[in-house]
Amino acid sequence: MNNFPVNSRRHFMRNSLGLAIGFSWSAGLIAQSAGSDLPGSLKGNPQLDSWLHIQPDGKVIVLAGKVEFGQGITTALKQIVADELEVSMSRLVMIPTTTGLSPDEGVTSGSQSIEYGGIALRFASAEARAILLERASVALGVPIADLSIQDGEITSSRGGQRTSYWSLTNENLLQRPATAKVSLKSNHQFIGKSIERVDIPAKVSGLPAYLQDIRMPGMLHARVVRPPAPRANLINVDIDAVKLMPGVVSIVLDGSFLAVVANREDQAINAMNALKKSANWKLKGDLPSSVQDWYRKMKQQPSVDTVIGVKKGEPGNPVKSVSSQFTKGFIVHGSIGPSCSIALMQDGVMKVWTHSQGMYPLRKDLAKTLGFPEGKIICIHQEGSGMYGQSGADDVALDAALIARTIPGKPIRVQWMREDEFKWEPYGSAMIINIDASIDREGNITNWKHELWSNTHSTRPGEPIGDNLLSSWYLEKPFPASPVKNIPQPAGGSDRNAVPLYAFPNQKIINHLIDNMPLRVSALRTLGAYANVFAIESTMDDLAKLANIDPVQFRLKHLEDQRARDVIMKVASMSNWKSGQVSSRKGGKLHGRGIAFAKYKNLSVYVATVADVVVDAKSGKVTVSNLYAAADGGLVINPNGFKNQIEGGLVQTTSWTLYESVPFNQNGIKVDSWSEYPILRFIDVPTIQVELINRENQKSLGVGEGSQGPGCAAIANAVANAIGNRIFDLPLTPDKIMTGLVA
């Protein structure tokens, strides 16, 4: 692994190819205000050498603050840099996001990697190209207009004089603030092409690909013993007998934080199980008895109430109305590989290898818990096998650091068990959404009210007050959790996508942010957008039926944004949508078709989806046979990567919509393995077709979380059409379907 010195102005690294890389570092030394008018993440990281270093040996060092966790961002960023610099992708060396070295781009979330990090690298690369061309012009004595670039080699069209990036560069080349005034390229060599992903070969060939695969010399293995339920306190535990077990090196006990360290992983697991048997805990018994019990209590909880998206137009003449309540339970991330981290305490510096989505925010909370200066903690990103939101990745990093602090000089690897991931990661929050809407005689929506109740959708590390890492709450001197808050609009948190993109003369959205958190929650892919789009698009279908207007035409009737209209018409064409043909019955099988649309966060990708479902009238089982999606993300960087994100989101939302919800009672979470948590199986994955609308003159939009909301709502609308009744509570399980069939 790479060892990164602290408080040094010159870094020398050796990458995985054994290539020696040296450069001067000034990232983060310029105040944020210096780049206040710059695009994307350049705003907070305005120095050009925060992003790029042109090496004399013909390599280009790329520093990015957005991390890879399966979304293909490494490949897309390489395409952007190679295109603007006019070099081959093989010259680029991508440095893992590392605190004190990489630009601080906060958390890789919200489908912002291309939209914010990509645009920053694009402008930085374009400006670096312009600087090198200016140097070449002076060196060769010819105008810049006479110079051409081929893979970093610069040639004059007049006399054939030649130079190169590699001979023109030096340490000071990019030690200057970005201006973002250089024109971006309009003709592309790499952007817009489905370049093969650089992260895939190792993943499909069995080579080490993930943090979970890493082994270091002298590494020890550790496991943490968790309580039976949240907020329990450790009364006593017999550690003496466990100390004598084979391979046990140490037992760490700090308040209710209990961990064991051993030479081998199996020895750590055996010791963990022995400690579990002897540990006595005082349980709070304060969980709701079920998710339905929590729904009943949510509206009575203290909340912070916010009104957004208000429109006060002509009241119109409403003649028909709907009033509906939609609910969605708690959902786990369900990562293939449970969370993992490696920590090494050496020479007063704590190094943590982590698959967190936010290196700098994680470092803040690690510093709080450990009592270290932030400069003495280095967080190094390594991809983990599964992510999308806040799973246990940040928490296990603290586990490893707490243990490594007690055994300096030894790498400590902590691998969560599947039980840990199911019971202790933060879940996606349960939500209640009430929608009241009316239409006039012409089928125009005249009034719209959207009211929602939810816990927060982000308890990530890095807040100025409190500590959001799990084990910090169980120490002898526990830390308080950070105060609950919502991500502000227009992106939003629980109210993400609660403001419809449709044109209504009167609307009001009320967000009730609930402080009391019976189950720990945080970011799950799309945050509140999944449930809000489900509720909005279900209501749009119900209003279309009241108006006796085809669902596609009803949506187009209420949309002014042409790009929104385009994706709806595109998916209707793809799926051969025919008015009036949304349901049929063949034997004991009920067939339904539904459509839905959303612009993610009202800021990012436009996605329209059509779903075809088959409902077994005897069992209530729903099978999604086909999903069609049309998407517009502006300028497409990597078409296949874009499609991968939409396809993956549709598979994930099929699972959420039909199967997933966390079971619990007053004494704890009632799931600790895959056999107890319902999830989509390979046999039930639908056939998916995705088509993109590429807009070369528009900025690239975030696409990674755009299809979950429309996918869910299209499935729900298809099911409603198939059975003749709407199911308002997610997931759409067979028992609810059978109740709907009887109603």
> What is 127-183 written as a DSSP string?
HHHHHHHHHHHHHHTS-GGGEEEETTEEEETTT--EEEHHHH--TTTT-SB----SP
Cis check: omega of the bond before 96, within 30 degrees of 0: no
Q: How far apart (Å, rounded) are the C-alpha atoms in residues 477 and 461?
A: 19
User: Is 504 in contact with 560 (CB distance < 8 Å)?
Assistant: no
Asked whether residue 453 carries a pLDDT value surpassing 70, the answer given is yes
Residue 408 is classified by DSSP as T
- HSE-up (13 A, CA, CB side) for residue 41: 28
Give a three-class secondary structure readout of 202-216.
Answer: HHHHCCCCCHHHCCC
What residue type is 287 in one-letter code? L
Domains 10-203 and 431-458+493-742 share a fold: yes
What's the whole-number mean pLDDT along residues 708-716? 98
Predicted model pTM: 0.92
Amino acid present at 253:
L
DSSP-assigned letter for residue 229: S
Q: What confidence category does residue 88 fall into, taking pLDDT thresholds of 50, 70 and 90?
A: very high
Of 57-61, 391-395, 666-670, minimum mean pLDDT range: 666-670
Q: Which residue has the higher pLDDT, 14 or 426?
A: 426
CA distance 98 to 117: 15
CB distance 8 to 26 below 8 Å = no
Q: Which residues are CB-neighbours of 205 under 8 A, at least 6 positions away?
A: none
501 touches 561 (CB < 8 A): yes
Sign of the four-CA dihedral 306, 327, 630, 569: negative
Which residues have CB under 8 Å from 230's CB, separation 6+?
284, 287, 519, 520, 668
Average pLDDT over residues 666-684: 93
Query: What one-character DSSP code corresponds to residue 490?
Result: T
DSSP lists the bridge partners of residue 591 as: 584, 614
Q: Which CATH class is domain 212-283+333-424?
A: alpha beta
Beta bridge partners of 308: 509
Taking only the tens place, the pLDDT of each residue in 124-137 is 999 999 999 999 99
At 333-364, the pLDDT tens digits run 988 899 999 999 999 999 999 999 999 999 99
What are the E-state strand segments in 617-696?
622-632, 664-665, 668-669, 687-693
Joined together, the tokens standing for residue 322 give 């709907």
Mean pLDDT score of the chain, rounded to an integer? 92
The pLDDT confidence band at residue 434, using thresholds 50, 70 and 90, is very high
Domain 10-203: CATH architecture, name and number where available: 2-Layer Sandwich (3.30)
Cα–Cα distance measured from residue 725 to residue 123, given in angstroms and rounded to the nearest whole number: 52
The region, left, alpha or beta by phi > 0 then psi within -120 to 50, assigned to residue 180 is: left
Architecture of domain 431-458+493-742 in CATH? 2-Layer Sandwich (3.30)
pLDDT given for residue 429 in this prediction: 97
* 304, 481, 518 from 485: Cα distances, Å: 9, 12, 16
Look at residue 16 and tell me whether its pLDDT is greater than 70.
no
Contact 74, 201 (CB under 8 A): no
Contact 241, 266 (CB under 8 A): no
At residue 36, the pLDDT reads 61
Cβ contacts of 697 within 8 Å, gap of 6 or more: 635
DSSP 8-state assignment for residue 180: -
Peptide bond into 734 cis (omega under 30): no
Domain boundaries, the chain: 10-203, 212-283+333-424, 431-458+493-742
The band of 78, judged by pLDDT with boundaries at 50, 70 and 90, is very high
pLDDT 10s digits, 202-243: 888 988 899 999 999 999 999 999 999 999 999 999 999 999
Instruction: Using the predicted structure, report yes or no on whether residue 34 has a pLDDT greater than 80.
Output: no
Strand partners, 432: 327, 453
Residue type, 716: A
Determine the 3-state secondary structure of 424 from DSSP.
helix
Distance CA 325, CA 451 (A): 9
* Percent share of the chain, pLDDT over 90: 86
Residues 578, 550: Cα–Cα separation, whole Å: 9
C-alpha span between 253 and 47 (Å, rounded): 45
Q: Note the pLDDT of residue 667.
A: 87
Q: Return the SS3 of 166.
A: helix
Residue 102 Cα to chain centre, angstroms: 20
The two structure tokens encoding residue 342:
């490696």
Task: State how far the alpha carbon of 678 is from the alpha carbons of 334, 351, 432, 661, in Å.
Answer: 10, 37, 22, 8
Q: Where are the alpha helices (DSSP H) in 257-358?
A: 265-278, 291-298
Q: Where residue 72 falls among pLDDT bands split at 50, 70, 90?
A: confident
